[in-house]
Amino acid sequence: MKTPKDKSKKDLQENNLLDESINTEQSDTTVASEKSTTDEKTTVINDTTEVAEAATTISNTAVTTEIALQPKKERLLSIDRIRGLCIFCFVCSVLMPLFETAFEKLAPLFEHAHRQTGLGGWQILPYVSIADLFAPMFIFIMGLTMVKSFKSREKKVGTPRAVLQLAVRFLGLIGLGIMLNTFEDLVVDLLKKEATFGELQFYEKVFVTAFWATVGFVSIMLILTLVSLILRYAKCAKANNIIVKINDVFANIFKYVLAIIGLLSLYILIVGTAEMLNTLVWHEEEGNPLGWQEYTLTKFGSIWWDTLQNIGLAGLMALPFVALGRRGRLTVASINLIVYAIMIKYGSTAYRAVVEGGLIGGIGWSSIVLFGTVCFDYKDEKEYWIIPAITLLAALFLDFTYGVIAFKRGCTPPYALLCISLSATVWGLFNKINDWKPKYDFLADWGSNPILNYAVAIFFIAILLGGKYEEQFAAMKLWPALGITVLFLGVFTAANWLMRKKQVYIKIS
């Protein structure tokens, strides 16, 4: 794939093809082909706002599931490849730990630093393990095309609706994350009869009910998509158009259901954060350099806050600044991290009380998004490499000199800066080989539908963990475990290859 080196011959144009992705938006812009040649090549820049794709969008207001009928367009491979690297590592990190005995020696590679002690895993800095780098890299990727996505929407529907559309998307990502956690932590227990519906808190009952509604919506959309495929290949265009329109209606409803769940989850998080700040007490503990926290939540209790929730929150907190220029966004992100570092330096430890930092950690996560937008703006300039260099130096200074630890559980400033530096470096290297187009591109295939891969992996693992064979998997010997792992990854790889070949993507648009 060729990237435009001679800007006098190429200019950016908006892309009307919106990919269907649940974690991230992908195709809002296209690098226009050379005007002076007849052999035009169009490059779609992937718009990754956390998080996935499995069918091409035919409207910019819904989750749709139709396959692109337009001539095949190439995506910016550097974004697909770095995203593919992230999602492949993530899937391995949730699959391989199932086989505790077989992959015991590899366990530290996929182990996060403990949320209270900061210990565990193969650490690249104190309290930061290798496994802690996957999620922030995903969030950085989201920032790469966020500004282009916003401007594309703004041009089509105006600023207020563009903001609303992206806000709904980010809330939808939070809602999707909550639904996955609901299945993993509540529905599985209910199915195993280890808990009863009546024992749940009110909001948990709401989430469980919403989960089954989500299953219904997804099932209907999958059936309609299958019917659409059959009608397409049968060349029944009129009937296919009707099915697509019906699917769009369900997709729109589904999108707003997820957004409402996300909004409710955000409200519960805000209430919990307020209660936590009023009651939080930290205690020192021998052998635990970070101590442990004690606080009381009386209104709703705690709520799950995981990767997809973080991605959605980061997008919401970065959204007010996407209309700024690159220097403005860089300034906002830098000020956020400076203020956050000062708060931690002089006693604020609340960020450690919620997994992933919750609302307070959003300061760090949204700063990663904003730095991602800046890196995209500088991608063709020599100054690009100044960003990973300075952010790395700033991370090391804050961690070893200023005394603010790098820690994923709260996305502290040095941790955010370290992840920005590493993400920018990896993406910059992928950009260097953007023209390289092998016949089979493993990482690009895996990166074409990241959130679909994420959701399926979580769902699959939750079934295994919740099933009666959990202990058998944990005790399984190396060769059977290796065979299951290779089979699982092989199925994922084949499915990703086929979807990318057929231009099938999914997203919350």
Going by pLDDT thresholds of 50, 70 and 90, the confidence category of residue 114 is confident
What are the structure tokens assigned to 497, written together? 């290859």
Report the alpha-carbon distance of residue 320 to residue 282 in Å, rounded: 34
Q: Are 360 and 394 in contact (CB under 8 A)?
A: no
Q: Which pLDDT belongs to residue 2?
A: 41
Is the predicted pLDDT of residue 365 greater than 90, yes or no? yes
Give the whole-angstrom CA distance, residue 443 versus residue 160: 36
pLDDT of residue 287: 66
Per-residue pLDDT tens for 291-348?
777 778 888 877 888 888 999 999 999 999 999 999 999 999 999 999 999 988 887 6
Query: When comparing pLDDT for 242 and 51, which is higher?
Result: 242
Contact 53, 30 (CB under 8 A): no
At residue 66, the pLDDT reads 38
Which one, of 76, 134, 508, 149, lies nearest residue 319 by Cα? Answer: 149
What's at 199, amino acid-wise?
Answer: E
Mean pLDDT of 461-476: 73
pLDDT more than 70, % of the chain: 80
Averaged over 281-287, what is the pLDDT? 72
- pLDDT tier for residue 194 given thresholds of 50, 70 and 90: confident
Say how far apart CA 46 and CA 80 lie, in whole Å. Answer: 7
Question: pLDDT (tens digit, 9 = 90+) per residue, 94-113?
Answer: 888 888 899 988 888 888 88
Question: For residue 134, what pLDDT band results from cuts at 50, 70 and 90?
Answer: confident
Better pLDDT: 212 or 356: 212
pLDDT digits (tens, 9 = 90+) for 40-78: 333 334 443 333 333 333 333 344 443 444 444 556 899
pLDDT tens column, 378-436 = 999 989 999 999 999 999 999 999 989 898 888 999 999 999 999 999 999 999 999 89
**Token representation of residue 132:** 């802690």
Checking if the pLDDT of 31 tops 70, the result is no
Give the chain's mean pLDDT: 81
The more confident residue out of 493 and 504 is 493
Does the pLDDT value for residue 246 go beyond 60?
yes
Angle of helix 237-279 relative to helix 307-318, nearest 10 degrees? 90
pTM of the model: 0.81
Least confident of 128-132, 232-236, 279-283, 369-373: 279-283
* pLDDT over 90 at 466, yes or no: no
Calculate mean pLDDT across residues 256-285: 87
pLDDT for 46 equals 44
Q: What distance in Å separates the CA atoms of residue 325 and residue 494, rounded to the nearest whole number? A: 41
SS3 128: strand
Integer Cα distance of 75 and 27 in angstroms: 8
- Domain residue limits, the chain: 20-25+52-58+75-501
Residue 35 has pLDDT above 60, yes or no: no
pLDDT (0 to 100) of residue 397: 97
Model confidence at 11: pLDDT above 70: no
